[in-house]
Amino acid sequence: MILMMLITIIIIILSNIMMMLSIILSKKTFMDREKNSPFECGFDPKSSARIPFSLHFFLITMIFLIFDVEIALIFPIIMLFKMTNFIIWTKISFFFFIILLLGLYHEWNQNMLNWTN
């Protein structure tokens, strides 16, 4: 046990030393005007490269991802139908679908499902 702790401490110390050496010896510059500007064939940009991003589009994307992951979680529930007790399976499935429906109701109530305001 003591040997394992000693090896762990040595590994942590060595990794920290390596990280510090890489930070000290790196030649990377953080404040370079050319690297921070957008590239347009060597010319100065004619317009702003930073276009405004639609927050509503981002929220719709997050809702899609959440429901997509929840759909992926439903597949194992279907596969467990034959292996588990029917009453327990029904309770777990019902609880999961209630959570999904409550989330959908909350998003509908907050007008998140409308594309235009």
Q: Say if residue 61 is in the same domain as residue 100.
A: yes
pLDDT of 117: 56
Tell me the mean pLDDT in the region 65-89: 84
Minimal CA–CA distance to 87: which of 79, 99, 98, 95? 95
Q: Say if residue 61 is in the same domain as residue 103.
A: yes
Asked, for residue 26, whether it belongs to a domain, the answer is yes
H-helix segments, 1-117: 2-25, 33-36, 55-79, 86-109
Give me the chain's average pLDDT, please: 81
What is the domain count for the chain? 2
Domain encompassing residue 21: 2-36
Asked, for residue 22, whether it belongs to a domain, the answer is yes
Tell me the mean pLDDT in the region 101-109: 86
- Quick: pLDDT tens for 41-72: 666 656 666 667 777 777 788 888 888 888 88
Q: Say if residue 32 is in the same domain as residue 60.
A: no
Which pLDDT band, with edges at 50, 70 and 90, does 106 fall under? confident
- Quick: pLDDT tens for 10-48: 999 999 999 999 888 887 666 666 666 666 566 665 666
Q: Say if residue 65 is in the same domain as residue 28.
A: no
Q: Say if residue 61 is in the same domain as residue 32.
A: no
Q: How far apart are CA 38 and CA 34, in angstroms?
A: 8
Q: Is the pLDDT of residue 3 over 60?
A: yes
Asked, for residue 45, whether it belongs to a domain, the answer is no
Asked, for residue 88, whether it belongs to a domain, the answer is yes
Asked, for residue 90, whether it belongs to a domain, the answer is yes
